[in-house]
Amino acid sequence: MERERVAGLLEGWGQPAFRLTQIVQAQAAGAATWDDVTTLPRTLRARLSEHGPLWSVRPESASTSRDGTVKWRLALGDGRVVEAVLIAHAQGRRTVCVSSQAGCALGCRFCATGAMGAGRDLTRGEILEQAMLARAEAERQGARLSNVVFMGMGEPMQNLDAVLAACDDMNRPDGLGISARAIAISTAGWVPGIARLAEHPLPVRLALSLHAADDETRGRLMPINARYPIANVLAACRRYCDRTGRRVFIEYLLLDGVNDTPADARRLAGLLRDGRFHVNLIEYNPTASGYTASPPERRRAFTEALARAGIEASLRRSRGADVDAACGQLAARA
Ligand code: SAH
Ligand code: SF4
């Protein structure tokens, strides 16, 4: 249940302010239902439960990959299912990858969520709770939840009110206390959303899923390119850079025989020459799409061609593929 709602109920019943703190602490300690919040009087627990469940997402299952990545299948109140993933890094840091929608209307051809079709927007609470679950798990592992990426299911820019409200909750000191600069919102290129994010006071990061350096290729992969072609999307990203002073991450999936030649790399470098971008090359994870990942030698040649053209890129290694927790595989079997 959302914090403001709980606070409003408690206040209406003349309860002291520390009750809210007790609830938040119990949730962080693993309370799953109102009955588990044993610091509250029994009558108050019963009263609260009449107004809705403590959590709006319920973990149906958790699978742990060989590399330590943890994936949750989360049931929402209406029976829909989304997924969230906790990714381990060195030095005791953890990143959670959260979903913003159950399904996605944008239908990118390579993406398992896209194949599900449009679902519904998640609420602010449903998004925040994914990070809360992840933080509790990170703490059980003796680590710290330091980063959040909106790279799970859905297009965050099409649900931006709830996404930004959840970001505020994640960021505030009495929320999860995660630095805004450690939160990244990834978009397939929804230009109005990019424009709104540029004006938003919270300094969260922007990542653009570009995946091709020419409109023809991108249009085949991502139907949204018909509406917002590469030039428009990159112009919106540049305005975001100018307004915020922050670089934009460019996500580029390497797809075998589709977008992975040295000529593609040079074209990409040509688009990004002004230094306002950082390129992340992503390994493709198999789904039912028919696309496959570029082989290692082509990946290497692509990275080298980019570097020669003056663009340094990071190669993002895949994690969690053995539990279908890797990018684009979420809810593949939901
Ligand atoms: N809708 C947003 C955010 C969610 S998708 C977006 O598209 O950016 C997060 C990232 O996963 C995107 O960069 C997307 O292109 C990538 N992705 C989708 N399917 C993938 C797959 N099978 N393997 C690797 N990355 C994939
Ligand atoms: Fe939606 Fe992103 Fe998947 Fe495209 S890649 S279908 S925008 S979730």
Scanning 206-247, the segments in alpha helix (DSSP H) are: 215-221, 230-244
As beta bridge partners, residue 130 has: none
Identify whether 327 is a catalytic site residue.
yes
Tokens at residue 193, please?
A: 């959303």
Q: Which residues touch 123 (CB under 8 Å, ≥6 apart)?
A: 2, 56, 162
Chain centroid to Cα 329, Å, comes to 13
- Return left, alpha or beta for 30; rule: phi > 0 is left, psi -120 to 50 is alpha, else beta: left
Ligand 1: residues within 6 Å at CB? 110-111, 151, 155, 186-188, 209, 251, 253, 282, 284-285, 287, 327-329
DSSP conformational letter for 190: -
* Ligand 1 pocket test, candidate residues 95, 110, 190, 324, most atoms within 8 A of CB: 110
Tell me the one-letter amino acid at 203. Answer: P
At 35-80, the pLDDT tens digits run 999 999 999 999 999 999 999 999 988 888 887 789 999 999 999 9
CB 305 within 8 A of CB 299: no
Is the alpha carbon torsion for 99, 149, 257, 329 positive or negative? negative
Residue 243: the pLDDT is: 95
Residue 199: the pLDDT is: 96
Which residue has a Cα nearest atom 15 of ligand 1? 209
Has this prediction a pTM greater than 0.75?
Answer: yes
Q: How far is the CA of 2 from the centre of ligand 1 (A)?
A: 29
Give me the catalytic one of 11, 50, 83, 111: 83
Name the stretches of the chain with pLDDT < 70.
318, 320-334
C-alpha–C-alpha distance, residues 334 and 328, integer Å? 13
Nearest atom (ligand 1) to Cα of 329: 22
At 251-302, the pLDDT tens digits run 999 999 999 999 999 999 999 998 899 999 999 988 888 999 999 999 999 9
C-alpha–C-alpha distance, residues 171 and 166, integer Å? 9
Residue 327: the pLDDT is: 61
Tokens at residue 158, please?
A: 């099409």
Residue 334: the pLDDT is: 45
C-alpha–C-alpha distance, residues 298 and 256, integer Å? 8
Residue 65: the pLDDT is: 83
Give me the catalytic one of 97, 108, 237, 327: 327
- How many CB atoms sit inside 10 A of residue 78's CB? 7
